[in-house]
Structure 1
Amino acid sequence: MTTEARRPVVETPKPRLRGWFHGAAALGSLLVTITLVARTRSDPVRCFSLLVFGLSMIELYGLSAVYHIGNWQPGRQRVLRAVDHANIFVLIAGTYTPICVNLFAGRLRITVLLLIWTLALAGVLCAVLTLRLPRWVSTGLYIIMGWIALGTLPWLLHLLPWPALLLLGAGGALYSIGAVIYALRRPNPLPYIFGFHEIFHLFTIAGGAAFVIVIWIWVVPFPRG
């Protein structure tokens, strides 16, 4: 055996802030979900759509924090990583749900919901069954799912005011920028404290916050057709 073969592999330590931003976001999502459900409890359909949205946020941020903060054995780490990646598909579909249910009507509502949840299910199955999707595949699927909303733009232009549309666009852009940072692993300013993954997490939180504002202000009170 050569000296090189015996040399131990040195792994880069996990950044100190890894997972903590998503931990805080999970607590914030819990408060948002409780409030949204309380506001809409007299309308079961609206309430359920908001519960789906809220639970998708709590699930993603909460399990992401557990996965990224903890130090896991390799086998369990692979499973948690797959679940973490799968939850991104769930969050995207969960975000579409209250918008589709409460803003859209008829065939458009059913078509978009079926499409987005079918893609989410496919993404979840691929992530969980393979335990590790190639980074470019998962990133591409996230972006495609997110920008399916462009196909509904003619209806959104009619249903929502410009501030809401700008926030929706900002949310999608923030998610997309975060996905690109995740795929490229750059910028990576302080690898031992605050690296590219932490920047990615902050972009997902900011994008999610934009959608929360739209849903809170415009979707919740919208007269459902």
Structure 2
Amino acid sequence: MYYGEKLNAWTHLVGAVLALAGAIVLVVLAALDGDPWKVVSFSIYGTTLVLLYTFSALYHSFRGRAKEILQKLDHQGIYLLIAGSYTPFCLVSLRGPWGWSLFGTVWALALIGSLQEMRPKNDARILSLVIYVVMGWAVLVALVPLLEALGTDGFIWVAAGGLLYTVGIV
């Protein structure tokens, strides 16, 4: 493993450990708050974040056939994290019909994207990018209810996160 890959593997492993620590804190705080919706949604978010970094650390740790297989998991982790990032907003902030509709949509897209990544010869990088962008900006259909639920400051943070995800694709 050359230096850059070793560095990627180690930094992503550190990311996985930090994600696990952060997820534990979020879930404990949610449990202390007594809100089962927060406990479930933060658990889902934390799990997807840990998986993303774990898959990426493994991908950057191997060569050859193992690396090819792990690359598929690495890409699947992106779909999972996008859907996982939506989950607290869908189940806690929006909850009702808007929340459940958005939750179902982004998780269905994550499943579709993950399945297409499993194809033996995945030459659908454009399709992957389209799914990533559609997932990332699907929130626009619930723009008004989300703005009402989060307020202006909260919404600005969500929009900034969406922009960063989009820039990360490029």
User: Which of 155, 164, 167 matches 1:174?
Assistant: 164
Which residue is equivalent to 1:40? 30
Structure-2 change in CA distance of 1:122 and 1:67 (3 Å): same
Superposition deviation, residue 53 in structure 1 = 0.3
Which residue is equivalent to 1:216? none
Partner SS for 1:18: helix
Residue correspondence of structure 1 range 63-78 to structure 2 within 5 A: 63-68=55-60, 70-72=61-63, 74-78=64-68
Distance 2:52 2:128 in 1: 15
Matched AA of 2:70: L
Q: How many residues align?
A: 166
Which residue is equivalent to 1:209? none
- Ranges in structure 2 where 5+ consecutive residues have no aligned partner: none
Q: 8 Å contact 1:30–1:58 — kept in the other structure?
A: yes
**TM-score scaled to structure 2, two decimals?**
0.89
Distance 1:132 1:83 in 2: 13
Superposition deviation, residue 133 in structure 1 = 4.5
The one-character-per-residue Cα deviations of 1:163-192 (angstroms, maximum 9, x if unpaired) are: 211111111111111101xxxxxxxxxxxx
Distance 1:124 1:131 in 2: 14
The one-character-per-residue Cα deviations of 1:111-131 (angstroms, maximum 9, x if unpaired) are: 111111111101111102345
Larger Cα Rg: Structure 1 or Structure 2?
1
Superposition deviation, residue 79 in structure 1 = 1.1
Superposition deviation, residue 105 in structure 1 = 3.1
The one-character-per-residue Cα deviations of 1:29-67 (angstroms, maximum 9, x if unpaired) are: 111100011112233332011100000000001110121
Superposition deviation, residue 100 in structure 1 = 0.4
Q: 8 Å contact 2:89–2:99 — kept in the other structure?
A: no
Q: 8 Å contact 1:53–1:91 — kept in the other structure?
A: yes
**TM-score scaled to structure 1, two decimals?**
0.68
Q: 8 Å contact 1:156–1:165 — kept in the other structure?
A: yes
Partner SS for 1:40: helix
Matched AA of 1:105: R
Matched AA of 1:156: L
Residue correspondence of structure 1 range 99-114 to structure 2 within 5 A: 99-114=89-104
Q: 8 Å contact 2:42–2:88 — kept in the other structure?
A: yes
Q: 8 Å contact 1:60–1:91 — kept in the other structure?
A: yes
**1:87 and 2:77 are equivalent in the alignment:** yes
Q: CA RMSD in A?
A: 1.7
Which residue is equivalent to 1:49? 41
Partner SS for 1:143: helix
Residue correspondence of structure 1 range 138-153 to structure 2 within 5 A: 138-153=128-143
Q: 8 Å contact 1:82–1:131 — kept in the other structure?
A: no
Structure-2 change in CA distance of 1:15 and 1:135 (3 Å): farther
Q: Which has the higher helix share?
A: 2
RCO (CA 8 Å, sep 6+): is it higher in 1 or 2?
1
